[in-house]
Structure 1
Amino acid sequence: MKSDEEKYLAEEKNIFKELLGWLVYILIIFGLTYLVITFVGQRTRVTGSSMETTLSDGDNLIVDKISYRFRDPERYDIIVFPYQYQENTYYIKRIIGMPGETIQIINGEVYIDGEILGEEYGAEVMQDAGIAEVPVTLGEEEYFVLGDNRNHSMDSRDSRVGILKREDLVGRAWVRIWPFSEFGVIKHE
């Protein structure tokens, strides 16, 4: 028969094992969360109207950070990238110009390699061509991005944003999670 002291020590040992088990479980959850946020996806919030009507102010999105490790970005992808002049600020725009192409905005219309783009996004005539008033030729792994609400967007036309390099792309907007009435996978084309 066990003494009271032995029972107490055995019970204390079981409590310690239980706590240690929970601690390991919590550490594993934190580790997996860190890996997912760092390499797979992250939540981001749309601020402003530069992507209207596709995305609205206050929309919450999940950004796919892994697909560009396996494939190249494509024209019309909605991407997220850091704004270089303000820490922890990310912009959401649409890829319009691809590596090796020459982009120019003439009379408010986007021309790529001398041909009018003829897209459904950004249907309004752009008031300001910015740096694309003259032909802009993209180098390897460089992208020209525009907001869908062209006259209310700071994008590649503005030298503070400029041409993006592939390494600047955090990821591709994937799913809208808020508001619930708009929940779903984001269409890029």
Structure 2
Amino acid sequence: MQTDTEQQNTENQENESGFKELGLFVWDLVKVLIIAMAIILPIRYAVAQPFIVSGSSMEPTFYSGEYLIINEWTYHFDNPQRGDVVVFKYPKDTSQYFIKRIIALPGEKVKIEEDKVIIYNKEYPNGWVLDETYIPASDTTLPVGDGTTTLGSDEYYVLGDNRLASSDSRFWGPVPKHDIIGKVFIRAFPFSDLKKFETIEYGAK
């Protein structure tokens, strides 16, 4: 039979054991979180990052408020391709981030006339009219000035898919490669429109 003192000591030991087990559990949880953050943060900041669409310049491909995942890693191994939708620093104010589609590549000349986007390069010295199936038939691509731009060795010409509502290379010129953050990889939200995006293939008109 236990005395009151013995019973109290037993309860104290049980409480101490419980606190010790709780402390070990919390410490294990902290270690798991530290390891997880050590893995996730480099991926978050070096491989991919989220981007929320703001504005209507990329409709109907993307709508304002949609949540995209940007692949920041791919352009470390490959160059941006025609048709890629990219997020980049706005050349006139690099604190702002824009989303547009790459239309012309370094060294090419692009001309906009009669609602057509024409690419001039070594393969098509006489011009190649892009067949832009992502542009609604009712939309119009209007030139600014004479509508002609010749790109440097690291410059890209970008346009919004919603041409009548887009501020793009027609107005402020090409985007240097070093200002391109990454390529749109996945539309993560809304969940009903979840989609992975690949580089498109252009036909010619």
TM-score (norm 2): 0.76
Matching residue within 90, 107, 110 for 1:103:
110
- The answer to whether the aligner puts 1:61 opposite 2:75 as a matched pair is no
CA distance in 2: counterparts of 1:86 and 1:96, whole angstroms: 21
Equivalent residue number for residue 160 of structure 2: 147
Question: Does structure 1 conserve the Cα–Cα contact (< 8 Å) formed by 2:186 and 2:197?
Answer: yes
| Alpha-carbon offset, residue 136 of structure 1 | 1.8
2:171 match: secondary structure: coil
2:170 match: secondary structure: coil
* Gaps in structure 2 of 5+ consecutive residues: 1-8, 121-125, 201-205
CA distance in 2: counterparts of 1:6 and 1:57, whole angstroms: 60
Name the aligned partner's letter for residue 174 of structure 1. Answer: F
| Alpha-carbon offset, residue 130 of structure 1 | 2.7
Q: CA RMSD in A?
A: 2.5
Percentage of matched positions with identical amino acids = 32
CA distance in 2: counterparts of 1:8 and 1:56, whole angstroms: 57
1:99 match: secondary structure: coil
CA distance in 2: counterparts of 1:8 and 1:50, whole angstroms: 63
Question: Does structure 2 conserve the Cα–Cα contact (< 8 Å) formed by 1:52 and 1:148?
Answer: yes
Q: Work out the number of aligned pairs and report it.
A: 182
TM-score (norm 1): 0.82
Equivalent residue number for residue 192 of structure 2: 181
Equivalent residue number for residue 130 of structure 1: 144
Structure 1 or 2: larger strand share? 2
CA distance in 2: counterparts of 1:58 and 1:134, whole angstroms: 31
Cα offsets for 1:131-181 (capped at 9, x unmatched): 6x253221122100001111110111122xx31111111111111111222
| Alpha-carbon offset, residue 11 of structure 1 | 6.4
CA distance in 2: counterparts of 1:71 and 1:81, whole angstroms: 16
* Gaps in structure 1 of 5+ consecutive residues: none
Which structure's CA Rg is the greater one?
2
Equivalent residue number for residue 165 of structure 1: 176
| Alpha-carbon offset, residue 31 of structure 1 | 2.4
CA distance in 1: counterparts of 2:90 and 2:39, whole angstroms: 27
CA distance in 2: counterparts of 1:95 and 1:86, whole angstroms: 18
